[in-house]
Amino acid sequence: MKKRASKFARKNVLLALGWNVVEFNQGVFEYAKKANWIVNDIMSHNGRVPAQWNGDGIITGITQPSETALLRLLNKAKVPVVNLASYNSSIINCRVLPDNKMIGAVAAEHLLTRGFHQFAFYRVSSFPTVMERMNGFRSAILAAGKQFYEMDFTTQMPAKLLNSDQYLSILSALASKLKKLPKPIGVMAQYDAEANDVVRACLSVNLRIPEDVAVIGVDNDPLYSTLGPIPLSSVNSNRRLAGYRSAEVLDKILDGKKWVEKLILIQPEGVVVRESTDLVAVSDPYVSKALRYILNDFKGDISVEDVVRKSGISRRGLYSRFEKHIGHSIYEEIMNRRLDYAKKLLRETDEKLHSISLSSGFGDSERLSKAFKRHYDISPIGYRLQQRAGID
């Protein structure tokens, strides 16, 4: 690899993604601004590999060996390369990828807490990213003792872009498949776009969302999650942090640090809940009533006794039904909802710990801290720092 002319010169970095994902770009640009880089991102806009480029490092998004023009550039440039996609080779110093198995597990946990017993995964490709997501989802479902179905539509996807007739044909086949599956069912799709296709297929055959089919996607892309037929729940895969980390790693390599870590996995931020999964799908009316009460009021000063009273059944009866349908106690359900909300506030706001403890139902910061330490073996502030590490 070529050496820089001066350690005081501004670093010249090529962002060779070939696609324009706002969150990735934001993360890269946040680090680039901090590091005073010069960034060339023309490929993100026109999709064309630069004919001539002379700089210090490359952040790319190469997914497969068929991207020959981009591979030629990487080989010719002879500079450090960080990849934001799954393809790996000797010319790539490090890959920064979403933790896809964890993404699948997070989606499964979200649907499991809604009380589903049947689950399916919809995919239209066999890329490693997709298969890892499905495997993480399936493993969590099977570990909970529930039923899993795979909806593999890869053979129905044409090699080139879909025309309108082909799209409608796939949508019809998907609708037919969904009608045959047991209800109610929770469905995860490989990305938000495919999750919207599941929604459209359901609506075309009068399947109710989320009562019959609850749907969750991945990436929390606002184009799909908020502007589709029904507001879509989605796992936030933390693409902004992935972009930032890729730039941070490249900078360390350019500064001469010997980099041995070949793969960095970015943890998802959690589920952004919208209408497509916003229900309690438990057949037992007492458990359903108890869950709905917890979901609506966990931020307040509610107790297990309050939940029992709202359910309309005895304490012993609700305890046994809760264990049967949900797999854990009423108290644990209250704590899970409070901790999830506290984590969201720690990630997404600058609220003080005392304010977060009040907003999430813990009452005071000491109780919040003890619960965090017990469940996650980390303090709330430690969790916030961990999630924001490197992001100013």
Among 3.30.70.270, 3.50.50.60, 3.40.50.2300, 2.40.10.10, what is the CATH number of 12-98+239-267? 3.40.50.2300
Among 3.40.50.1100, 3.40.50.2300, 1.10.10.10, 3.40.47.10, what is the CATH number of 100-237+271-277? 3.40.50.2300
Residues 6+ apart with CB under 8 A from 217: 188, 189, 191, 192, 193, 194, 195, 196, 224, 225, 232, 233, 234, 235
pLDDT reported for residue 2: 53
For the segment 206-238, what is each residue's pLDDT rounded down to a tens digit?
Answer: 999 998 999 999 999 988 998 889 999 999 999
Cα angle 236, 238, 240 (rounded to 5 degrees) comes to: 130
Q: What CATH number does the domain located at 285-388 have?
A: 1.10.10.60
- Quote the pTM value: 0.77
Reference 263, options 128, 391, 140; nearest CA is 128
Q: Give yes or no for residue 4 having a pLDDT over 60.
A: no
Q: CB count, 10 Å around CB of 187?
A: 31
pLDDT reported for residue 348: 76
Q: Label the pairing between strands 213-218 and 94-98.
A: unpaired
Average pLDDT value for residue range 274-293: 82
Domain boundary assignment for the chain: 12-98+239-267, 100-237+271-277, 285-388
pLDDT reported for residue 5: 47
- Per CATH, 100-237+271-277 and 285-388 having the same topology is answered no
User: Cα separations (Å) of 258 from 245, 253, 389?
Assistant: 16, 7, 21
Q: CB count, 10 Å around CB of 129?
A: 20
Tokens of 79: 């500079």
Average pLDDT value for residue range 3-14: 71
